A and B are shown apart, each in its own frame.
Chain A
């Protein structure tokens, strides 16, 4: 049986992983389906939203982010924020040309 290790106490059973995997497959199907519908301006946001949900599931469950100390999540926010702000500021140049 499991050892009395803080990390293992949080370890997930096999089932949760399979459930998340099924969710990911469903979301993939959703992405493909949505791509077939013409929603004009919302196409990119929709695609990114679904991809983000998938990424969130992989991060929190598969990568055990929810089992780690909060430091790890804060780190991720910092990195993501750096990317996001670069992206936004870059568009202050390109959106207004």
Chain B
């Protein structure tokens, strides 16, 4: 059972990338490695560590909000906590998340390449990520205390407050640089390193997603870089740019901030959608419905997504014309996202659906992302947003898309790909139990926010009127159930690294993309011979299990 050699064409001649002995050994062999797979694992470790930190802040915030009035922390502390929760989750978890871990590990493999176009730059991106993370941590412990501006650093408060805003800005700037360089690497890799025969329309759909994401990383991130730099200069040198006391326009700051930060949410969701497109065909045993529609919709989402930023600013003091224009454009961006959801659902129709853990997370994604997306369309409607802006409704919306969407897709990817990456299978029944805790806890945590936001509960407030108490109570209890799920899930996965069933099988799920044709775990150069591609991916015959799949005990 442990060593199933019948499915391997060749006995393993080369060591896996985990055992490969390069110029350096031990820890140095990891942190000096330019192997995209090792870099992916480095990101996995770092990103999940920071995620844990972000969860802790979220947990404590919910604890504060379990009853009105001060519960466990002062208002100033609460402000710092939601700032840190946002900064960590957004810049250290969701934005890098899927591209840095799974993009790095699998993009070259999926296109039949040995590595990315710029391996050393790739390692440098990881160093920048770690540097940004360390700066963020420093902002917590250094005198002055962590920034309390919210992750949005709005002027004028961000130039007035005496908390550690500068270090936070430096952290975000550094992380942005990491993101840009990854984007440059991925665009070049997709253009230059595809295997012979892999035309654009023979690429797996996750590559289309990573590609579109990479473009957004390259084009949008510099805007936040310059914007944050300007805020820093205003703080340090009193350069007049945004500060109204110096003649500046604080709404202009908001514009510039969101010109990046809106496309950033597409950096977050596009790779997640790519994961869904990869996993659904495998576990529905049907070829993906509407390949070209899904491929083009990735490009469309990236493109339209750069046209809608000011819908974050409807109550900030924009002109009526500006508001109309952005509301209209916001409606447009929903269309390609919906196209994807329709195509995924059509793929499921008449499929032979196997509810393996990755599939559970992906199905949950479709449900949770739809709620998030629909609430987004509600917010895009000007008249409704006047009521909803800065309420808990918004908080509910973005957690549905970023966590229910990207978060769950990342969990799906972990359950789908970790066995390939490490040659170990986690305990599958436990994984399913963890999923249900997560799903139930998630909805109990966030759905009440949609309701109480609608009823007027503001966001970023640590105190509230008694009428909102039942919702906050439910939400906090939901957070506990969610956290139990997280603990169970991560315990299961981490335990599997040492104690999980060893897998040497190349194709444990019956996938039809290139990663399932190479060794488990992959060898250092991924392929012994670069494949020549003659067929499109997902070439399932409807409801037929591909021949190579073996039953796992």
Q: Which of A85, A92, A97 has the most chain B CB within a 10 Å cutoff?
A: A92
Q: How far is the CA of A94 from the CA of B313 in the complex (A)?
A: 13
Q: Which of A77-97 contact B (CB under 8 A)?
A: 78-79, 82, 85-86, 89-90, 92-97
A71 at the interface (CB under 8 A from B): yes
Of the four ranges (under 10, 10 to 19, 20 to 34, 35 or more), the interface on chain B belongs to 20 to 34
User: Would you call B306 and A93 a contact (CB within 8 A)?
Assistant: no
B326 at the interface (CB under 8 A from A): yes
Shortest Cβ gap from B382 to chain A (Å): 14
B13 at the interface (CB under 8 A from A): no
User: Would you call A90 and B319 a contact (CB within 8 A)?
Assistant: no
Q: Which of A82, A89, A93 has the most chain B CB within a 10 Å cutoff?
A: A93
Shortest Cβ gap from A60 to chain B (Å): 21
B307 at the interface (CB under 8 A from A): yes
Taken residue by residue from 315 to 350, chain B's Cβ proximity to chain A (1 for < 8 Å, 0 otherwise) reads as 000111110011001000000000000000000000
Q: Which residues of B contact A85 (CB under 8 A)?
A: 306-307
> CB within 8 A of A96: which of B306, B310, B320?
B320
> CB within 8 A of A93: which of B191, B223, B255?
B255
User: Would you call A89 and B321 a contact (CB within 8 A)?
Assistant: no
Taken residue by residue from 239 to 279, chain B's Cβ proximity to chain A (1 for < 8 Å, 0 otherwise) reads as 00000000000010001000100000000000000000000
B384 at the interface (CB under 8 A from A): no
User: Would you call A89 and B219 a contact (CB within 8 A)?
Assistant: no
User: Would you call B255 and A90 a contact (CB within 8 A)?
Assistant: yes
User: Would you call B259 and A93 a contact (CB within 8 A)?
Assistant: no
> CB within 8 A of A94: which of B220, B319, B326?
B319
In the complex with contacts A78-B215, A79-B219, A82-B219, A89-B325 CB distance below 8 A:
yes
Of the four ranges (under 10, 10 to 19, 20 to 34, 35 or more), the interface on chain A belongs to 10 to 19
Closest residue on chain A to residue B324 by CB atoms: A92
Taken residue by residue from 432 to 455, chain B's Cβ proximity to chain A (1 for < 8 Å, 0 otherwise) reads as 000000000000000000000000
User: Would you call B325 and A92 a contact (CB within 8 A)?
Assistant: yes
User: Would you call B321 and A96 a contact (CB within 8 A)?
Assistant: yes
Dominant secondary structure of chain B at its interface with chain A: helix
Shortest Cβ gap from A74 to chain B (Å): 11
User: Would you call B306 and A92 a contact (CB within 8 A)?
Assistant: no
Q: Which residues of B contact A78 (CB under 8 A)?
A: 215, 219
> CB within 8 A of A92: which of B191, B219, B220, B321?
B321
Shortest Cβ gap from B53 to chain A (Å): 33
Shortest Cβ gap from A85 to chain B (Å): 6
Shortest Cβ gap from B244 to chain A (Å): 16
Taken residue by residue from 63 to 75, chain A's Cβ proximity to chain B (1 for < 8 Å, 0 otherwise) reads as 0000000010000
Q: Which residues of A contact B310 (CB under 8 A)?
A: 89, 93
Q: Which of B196-217 contact A (CB under 8 A)?
A: 215
Shortest Cβ gap from A7 to chain B (Å): 15
Q: How far is the CA of A18 from the CA of B31 in the complex (A)?
A: 48
> CB within 8 A of B306: which of A71, A82, A94?
A82
Q: Which of B455-511 contact A (CB under 8 A)?
A: none
Q: Which residues of A contact B215 (CB under 8 A)?
A: 78
Q: How far is the CA of A93 from the CA of B322 in the complex (A)?
A: 4
Q: Which residues of A contact B309 (CB under 8 A)?
A: 89
Q: Which residues of A contact B259 (CB under 8 A)?
A: 86, 90
User: Would you call A92 and B255 a contact (CB within 8 A)?
Assistant: no
Shortest Cβ gap from A83 to chain B (Å): 9
User: Would you call A96 and B255 a contact (CB within 8 A)?
Assistant: no
Shortest Cβ gap from B225 to chain A (Å): 14
Q: How far is the CA of A88 from the CA of B325 in the complex (A)?
A: 11
Q: How far is the CA of A94 from the CA of B219 in the complex (A)?
A: 23
Q: Which of A20-42 contact B (CB under 8 A)?
A: none
Q: How far is the CA of A56 from the CA of B251 in the complex (A)?
A: 34
The contact sample of 14 A-B pairs, CB cut-off 8 A, is A78-B215, A79-B219, A82-B219, A82-B220, A85-B306, A86-B223, A86-B306, A90-B255, A92-B319, A93-B251, A93-B318, A96-B320, A97-B318, A97-B319
3 interchain residue pairs of minimum CB distance: A93-B322, A96-B321, A96-B319
